[in-house]
Structure 1
Amino acid sequence: MVLRKCTICDRRFKKTEHFKRHERSHTKEKPYECNVCHKRFSRSDVLSRHARGHNQPAANAAVRPGAGLPATPTNQAPADRSSTMTADTQNYVLGIGAESARPLQHGSSAPHNSAFSAALDQQSTSLDFLANVSAHQPRTEPIANQVMASEHQEYLGWNDVPVPDQQCYRGTMLDPLHNDILQFWLEPQGDSISQQGSIDLGGNSNLGMLGGAVASSESRPSIGSMSLSSGGSIPIERFARVQRYWLAPSNNTGRLMNSLWHDIAYSEEDNVFALRPTHSSSGPSGYMQGSRYGVDEECRQRLYTIFSQSRGQFQMRSSESTAVSPFTQPPRNNSNFPPAEILDMALDLFFRDFHPLVPFIHVPTFSAKDARPSLLYAMCLIGMVLLGTKGTLNFVVNNFSSMLESVTADLSKCSVGVEGSLSTVSTFAAAFLFLNLAAMTGEKEHLVKCQMLYVNLISIAQRHGLFAAREGQVLGANLFDAIPNTETRWKAWSKVESVKRLITGLLLLDSWYSSFMSTSPIIVPDSVQMILPCEEALFRATSSTRWMQLSDSDKVRLMPTILMPSENVDVPTLHSPVDDFCMYAVLAMVQSRLSEAYYRLLSNRASYPFAPCNTYAMDGRARCLPSLQLQLTSKYGDVLDRLNPNAAVMWHNMCMTLTADTQIFDMAAGRSGPGPARKALDDIAAWSQTPAARRACLHAAHIYRAMTNRRASDHTMFHSVFSLFYAALVLGLYVFMVPNPSEMQRGGNSIELFDDIDWQKVGTEGFTSFMEPRKGQPFPPSEEPALEFIKNGGTVYLRGVPIQGGYQAARRILLDYAGLLKDTGKWSVRKFSYVLHIMSDVLMDVE
């Protein structure tokens, strides 16, 4: 028998059929075409199985005269047909099997039995015969793509299977459609690529890596016609082809901080969050005379067009960047969308109850008609939650997921830098407000869904350098002095100030979100460089004239850049008088360092004496945290008492978390189930005898005091509510787990938890020393009762009533805090309150 050798890979074959199949695996030819659907195949047996799928309906019909004879191929020359069919008929019969081959070889016309007729119907259809005949036709196409031969070896020796094995394999295939599916999935990739050379990323199938060379050679200019100066000898088409196949970076503005202040100050818009006004005469204006911020029917229609779920997912998102009037769209029934009056009421509540907490929108230049839709919609949703009616709350809940996807899609554009400075800042603002909305709804699933949005927002902002002011464009007076017109200069300053305040808001968001989620903050603490916001009175100036009057007095138009406080960097000294928002910025920076240290050193690995400050004292980056708290009270002790209670609560919470490991209190409350709860209660019993525990109780009590003494005009931040909840756990479980009343009364000292405390005299007592329970003689008495209590313990009074350790006293404390949580206002904290109520009932069982 003659051995045939492959000219490409030198493999040898005994049978011609196997040799041809193997050769086609190199050349990727498909010589067998189905005459029904004109699909081409590289193997005859695959075409045969494919043909059965077309003839399946005819398989159950009676055998017609001459049905077993093959159809004459139309693409074969007449002179060659007789000889080809004569020789190939024998090969085909041999492929069927010996038993079924004899009748055909001898040309017997005797009637067959029914079983044989059925087999003949399925195996000897006209298309089957044509497929096997074409398997032995001489190949006339030239060998192509030999360069890629080594990349296309047979898959597990598929083509080397002997004939009997192939027949056995075909016998197991019960469904022809199944065979077609396998052929589709197992078809080598080179079959589709070899025709074009490569995948055309530019969308032009005529210019592949191979085919494009041929196409471009026809239009390539001659060397003599090209300029020889400055690389002119390179054809232009070559650069175009490289651009087509090599993905280029987007046409972005780069790092936002490099030119942020200039882009913002010299933009044409009056407000940094405004679009250019839409000049559209079509459609009624619908302006409401009583609207304070310009909400009208046109504004409502614009929000409906972009955000209504009835339009599908974000079909009109592109209109936000071009300010297309909503009246270019045909009117539709939008009765499920809030009317303009409700939107106006919601926007008014936003500016009255929420915006004072994070005042970053310049109200004198703000207009709802010109505001960017995503930001305006987020503002309205927050106002609807504050409105608190059944209709508005249902609308917020029903549209929460679609708004989340919308903000996420906008934020993804900022991540690749395809948006301008104003658009990116507006997207950051919309995402910031939406994350606050998630906390206001009080739904756990909303906060869970927004975790990725929080991570992306802070990460992208940090990547753009918003928290590294000294590494970007310098913000100096010359930026505004170059503007001669006073009105324009005022608006330029207000836009820059809005962005500064938004950056402070993002720092606050990262601070309390990481604390609430028990994760590390996204912002790297050591890299923070932030320009402080200016005084709020200057930001609220209603006109350029009033702004000039204030700035000519004692109001400062430019504030210094501060660094993250650390062991080598002191807490900054703020210009007097200190605003609430400016104080929040400084406290948030220290809080971020505290959260980072806790997550890095103590997350999921609490250790005795269960006071984080004990662990921080042994870490080079975290040991400065107690001294930073002392610096805050030394520089701003009187300021904290004068400002909004949120600032004092923030400081007390940091001190409390330095002396009490909050994860133990989570488990003791039952957050992780009954098993860890009992062990956590034992740990709290050991912790309650340390000076750190007694200091933590003082701070927990003063958080309650600050929240109780707040005024009606004092707006409550989310971190204050969160701190109040943990203060209830710390004080309540401390009182519950103190071993006996004598431990609290030892030394004969007493302290009223709500009395004023001179924290400068207390210093770092309970932070850095005497962490173990004192078993010897007590320390000598001191002038400050709080310092005496931290050192030696004593009797604790709450509103003049002595507190005895045990269930009853702990239950009273938990219920007091739960009642105060209900009165905190805008933040939905009913679940925090439920936890405290449940604990006040189940502690008896634990005891």
Structure 2
Amino acid sequence: MVLKKCSICSRVFKKTEHYKRHERSHTKERPYECNICHKHFSRSDVLSRHAKGHNQANATAGPSEGPNRQLSVIAGAPSTVPGSENGFSSAEAQIPPLSSTSRDAPLASMELPSSLDYLADISAHHGRTEPDLGVMMDDQQQYFGWNAVTAADQVSHRADLPFGPGPKDMLQMWLEPRTDSGSNDSLDLIRDSHFPLMGGNLMIAPDRQNQHSVDGSDNIPNERFAKVQQCWLTPPNTGRLINSLWRDIAMSPVDNILSVQSSHFPRESNFVQGSRCGFDEDCRQRLQAAFGPTTVSGHMQSPINRNIAPDTPASSLNHSDFPPAEILDMALDLFFRIFNPLLPFVHQPTFSAKKARPSLLYVMTLVGMTLLGTKGTTAFVSRNFSGALDKVTAEFSRCSMGLESAFGTMTLFATVLLLLNLAGLTGEKVHLEQCQPLYINVMSVAQRHGLFSATEGQILDMTLFETVSDIELRWKAWSKVESTKRVIIGLLLLDSWYSSFLSTGPIAVPDSIQLILPCSESLFSAQSPAQWTHLIRNGKRILSSTILAPSENINVPALEAPADDFCIQVVLAIVQLRQSESYHRLLSNRASYPFAPCHTYAMDGRARCLPSLQSQLIINYGETLDRLNPNALITWHNMCMTLTADIQIFDLAAGRAGPAPARKALDDIREWSQTPAARRACLHAAHIYKVMTNRKASDHPTFQSMFSLFSAGLVLGLYTFMVSESASSPSSAGSVELMDDVDWREVGTEGFTSFMEPSGSQTLAPMDDSTVNFIRHGASIYLRGLPLHGGYQSARRIMLDYASLLKDSGKWNVKKFSYILYIMSDVLMDVE
């Protein structure tokens, strides 16, 4: 039991409340004040009984008096100045005031209590921190108000103590009741005389007290709902976007989903001569205000890039570091000429740089400056990438909380989509690492909003556009819907190549994917409502079909001829997602003999359809793949190659994880090189090189195509290096030129689903097709007329060829990939 000793008369008390009451008999202290009549009391229970007298008076008073009464709640701080209302004498005023809180009262004792004594004291005084809204409200409110001791009071009081801080002061700091949050928040609401929810009927007029407790909704004051809205912990629940996405987008008050709604755009502008999208000096100033040196330097030490040293010190940044309007307009033009055809979601006829969201416009210019590739633009992008990432991440957080409109959310999805592609475009490892959290966030939010489950939300049909009578407004409504569809497809493409590149499982769930295909590219590019209407009359459709993810029970969709490149790309991306998911689930970091993923997939119920899907793709889309941009054909070859070769092993063999794993991986590749799957993988690797070599200058490759070329160089080079001399020497099986045209329909699933054992175990008779014979039995191989013999010399020549092609292809900065191949061509001699 903790004994309390009076510091004045040295009497000892067992109960704290008796000790406090006795203490106030010495000091004549009356800390409890009635807020109605301002009388002071030394005990809270006396004040409580006194307040009930006021309450009874309110009950008998007229109706007009009730609302004017207030509860006697928080008491003021006791006065210690002579001549005050308490009437302290001069001698009494010299006695140090003893607060009624547990923090200071025991400090006056000459004997320091133990830590356990102090904990017991704290427990006795502060065991109840949240007041009940009941009959004891008055006492508890006075108690909390009296416990509020200012820091100045504590300092002055402790200065008079004869001893320094001890263990008790340490406990006081950690066990002091909260005064800025928690229970006091609720007290702040109760102190407000306009807050209607009180512990009794004190705030209700007498004529309302006799009414039934449940009245009509009209009788509930708006202030009550406003108070509840402020106190609600969770953010607003706006539901999934897909539930009303198409209607919200079509009826949005902007001409383009990438625009912002504003009524004060500048009317007179200094246009840059020949500007494609109306980029002018005002646009530059707007971007500089949002992303200029001052803003960017503030992001230098953000959590995202705190471990990364900036290329340029923040102190050296000045306004001249921001590019002039001419350079920014040139970058925007390059964006639309080179990058936009690869990811065509911007409706150019209605796009205006002056009306675009600043973050989106800024990322567009960064992409264009990277494509421009000059010393100044490259340095600017490298210096400002982290700041742009921080800014876009902060803006996108509003989507996660449901604070953006439908078209605003889609604009931010588009901004993130471009920024993540920019990370691959720069080719900087640190940029790709920084972007991984944003990639995970954006795909998770898109998945949560049902953007990849088109049939679960509002049905997109003609009724949406038929309600718009004006042709121009209908054209704009359709273009906004079409842009939204393409942004969603772009997110799926992003998940496809990011998961493949990072060797992780995709975030989108392949089995649940339902997508509305994009409409004709010519219809989307129509420059006016009249041209758009003309194309519709000539047979172009403003609605497209919805596809499901191909699987064992769902065939590859049949596309309307002529199919556009973007339609083919989305179907390939869905199959790629399924393949990435299967690899991550079954083979990631646990490769198994014969080191061909298709062998493992054949024994899994969800993945065994993958070889069949690749065969369906080339049968259904073979002619289209030859006609369109080579990126789609490279994607198909890469998927076939990764079905027959475990790329993870080749990365390790190249030295990704150091010497020991590299030597183990080379031994695995030696065993793999004897299988039919390995020989088919070499064919696809060679054809990736062939497609990249034969592409037109206007056919700009994607990042995934460049990465596929790098992987193909590893597969063919390491196969040639590790294959036995007997397998590559002339034999009765004949020879095969890897660059010759192949009828892949005839090849079918050869090397995918069977014959995984080393050569010599098959008993099948040779066929007329040399490619099929090579996959089954092996043969002497040639590359552009030169024989490939197993060993270093042939492997070195292959890797140098692939490295040179990587270095010279496209605008993607893949110098690190080509550098790896150059290194391998030099060090393979040491390995051999």
Give the TM-score of the pair, scaled to structure 2: 0.78
Report the AA paired with residue 591 of structure 2. A
Q: CA deviation at 1:653?
A: 0.4
Asked if the contact 1:201/1:244 (under 8 Å) is kept, the reply is no
Deviations 1:262-302 (A, max 9, x none): 111122322121123553569x7322232121011111111
Secondary structure, counterpart of 1:356 in structure 2: helix
Which residue does 2:811 correspond to in 1? Answer: 826
Which of residues 673, 679, 683 is equivalent to 2:658? 673
Which residue does 1:302 correspond to in 2? Answer: 286
Q: In the alignment, does 2:454 pair up with 1:466?
A: no
Which residue does 1:838 correspond to in 2? Answer: 823
Which residue does 2:642 correspond to in 1? Answer: 657
Q: In the alignment, does 2:698 pair up with 1:698?
A: no
Which of residues 251, 269, 275 is equivalent to 2:260? 275
Q: CA deviation at 1:800?
A: 1.0
Which residue does 2:101 correspond to in 1? Answer: none
Q: CA deviation at 1:245?
A: 3.8
Q: CA deviation at 1:498?
A: 0.8
CA distance in 1, matches of 2:131, 2:360: 58
Mapping 1:511-590, distance limit 5 Å: 511-590=496-575
Q: In the alignment, does 2:108 pair up with 1:131?
A: yes
Report the AA paired with residue 108 of structure 2. A
Report the AA paired with residue 643 of structure 2. L
Mapping 1:172-321, distance limit 5 Å: 176=164, 182-183=170-171, 185-189=173-177, 192=179, 198-200=183-185, 206=191, 213=198, 217-218=202-203, 222-224=208-210, 229-230=215-216, 242-250=228-236, 253-276=238-261, 278-279=263-264, 285-311=269-295
Report the AA paired with residue 684 of structure 2. H
Q: CA deviation at 1:339?
A: 0.9
Q: CA deviation at 1:599?
A: 0.3
Asked if the contact 2:728/2:788 (under 8 Å) is kept, the reply is no
CA distance in 2, matches of 1:202, 1:764: 74
Report the AA paired with residue 292 of structure 1. R
Which residue does 1:118 correspond to in 2? Answer: none
Secondary structure, counterpart of 1:797 in structure 2: strand
CA distance in 1, matches of 2:713, 2:638: 12
Which residue does 1:755 correspond to in 2? Answer: 740
CA distance in 1, matches of 2:656, 2:359: 36
Report the AA paired with residue 256 of structure 1. L
Q: How many residues align?
A: 710
CA distance in 1, matches of 2:775, 2:530: 55
Which residue does 1:162 correspond to in 2? Answer: none
Report the AA paired with residue 304 of structure 1. Q
Report the AA paired with residue 223 of structure 1. Q
Q: In the alignment, does 2:393 pair up with 1:408?
A: yes
Deviations 1:200-245 (A, max 9, x none): 279758359x998469944667324778544788887766655454
CA distance in 2, matches of 1:486, 1:742: 68
Secondary structure, counterpart of 2:781 in structure 1: strand
CA distance in 2, matches of 1:731, 1:82: 96
Q: CA deviation at 1:749?
A: 1.6
Q: CA deviation at 1:77?
A: 5.3
- Greater Cα offset, 476-485 or 227-236: 227-236
Secondary structure, counterpart of 1:450 in structure 2: helix
CA distance in 2, matches of 1:248, 1:686: 57
Q: CA deviation at 1:260?
A: 1.2
Which residue does 1:385 correspond to in 2? Answer: 370
Q: In the alignment, does 2:609 pair up with 1:624?
A: yes
Q: In the alignment, does 2:756 pair up with 1:771?
A: yes
Structure 1 residues 180 and 82: alpha-carbon distance in aligned structure 2, compared to 1, 3 A threshold? closer
Q: In the alignment, does 2:705 pair up with 1:717?
A: no
Which residue does 2:320 correspond to in 1? Answer: 335
Asked if the contact 2:728/2:789 (under 8 Å) is kept, the reply is no
Structure 1 residues 655 and 500: alpha-carbon distance in aligned structure 2, compared to 1, 3 A threshold? same
Secondary structure, counterpart of 2:264 in structure 1: coil
Which residue does 1:119 correspond to in 2? Answer: none
Q: In the alignment, does 2:433 pair up with 1:445?
A: no
Gaps in structure 2 of 5+ consecutive residues: 5-9, 28-79, 99-103, 114-123, 133-157, 300-316
Asked if the contact 1:744/1:793 (under 8 Å) is kept, the reply is no
CA RMSD, Structure 1 to Structure 2 (Å): 3.9
Which residue does 2:155 correspond to in 1? Answer: none
Asked if the contact 2:81/2:93 (under 8 Å) is kept, the reply is no
Structure 1 residues 18 and 532: alpha-carbon distance in aligned structure 2, compared to 1, 3 A threshold? farther
Which residue does 2:77 correspond to in 1? Answer: none
Q: CA deviation at 1:528?
A: 0.4
Q: CA deviation at 1:518?
A: 0.7
Gaps in structure 1 of 5+ consecutive residues: 7-14, 33-71, 89-126, 137-142, 152-169, 316-331
CA distance in 2, matches of 1:845, 1:792: 31
Secondary structure, counterpart of 2:704 in structure 1: helix
Structure 1 residues 640 and 232: alpha-carbon distance in aligned structure 2, compared to 1, 3 A threshold? closer
Structure 1 residues 237 and 659: alpha-carbon distance in aligned structure 2, compared to 1, 3 A threshold? same
Deviations 1:314-354 (A, max 9, x none): 99xxxxxxxxxxxxxxxx98322111111100000000111
CA distance in 2, matches of 1:803, 1:198: 80
Identity rate of aligned residues, in percent? 56
CA distance in 1, matches of 2:816, 2:684: 23
Secondary structure, counterpart of 2:191 in structure 1: coil
Structure 1 residues 239 and 202: alpha-carbon distance in aligned structure 2, compared to 1, 3 A threshold? farther
CA distance in 1, matches of 2:130, 2:393: 46
Structure 1 residues 772 and 204: alpha-carbon distance in aligned structure 2, compared to 1, 3 A threshold? same
CA distance in 2, matches of 1:553, 1:82: 100
Q: CA deviation at 1:741?
A: 3.8
Q: CA deviation at 1:398?
A: 1.4
Q: CA deviation at 1:129?
A: 13
CA distance in 2, matches of 1:377, 1:596: 34
Asked if the contact 2:727/2:778 (under 8 Å) is kept, the reply is no
Report the AA paired with residue 681 of structure 2. A
Structure 1 residues 839 and 554: alpha-carbon distance in aligned structure 2, compared to 1, 3 A threshold? same
Q: CA deviation at 1:776?
A: 4.4
CA distance in 1, matches of 2:106, 2:253: 77
CA distance in 2, matches of 1:178, 1:799: 87
Structure 1 residues 73 and 526: alpha-carbon distance in aligned structure 2, compared to 1, 3 A threshold? same
Which of residues 635, 640, 660 is equivalent to 2:620? 635
Structure 1 residues 828 and 226: alpha-carbon distance in aligned structure 2, compared to 1, 3 A threshold? same
Report the AA paired with residue 469 of structure 1. A
CA distance in 1, matches of 2:241, 2:696: 40
Q: CA deviation at 1:405?
A: 0.9
Structure 1 residues 561 and 130: alpha-carbon distance in aligned structure 2, compared to 1, 3 A threshold? closer
Asked if the contact 1:200/1:207 (under 8 Å) is kept, the reply is no
Mapping 1:395-434, distance limit 5 Å: 395-434=380-419
Select the structure of larger CA radius of gyration.
1
Which of residues 443, 463, 483 is equivalent to 2:468? 483
Which residue does 1:64 correspond to in 2? Answer: none
Which residue does 2:420 correspond to in 1? Answer: 435
CA distance in 2, matches of 1:678, 1:314: 46
Asked if the contact 1:665/1:729 (under 8 Å) is kept, the reply is yes
Give the TM-score of the pair, scaled to structure 1: 0.77
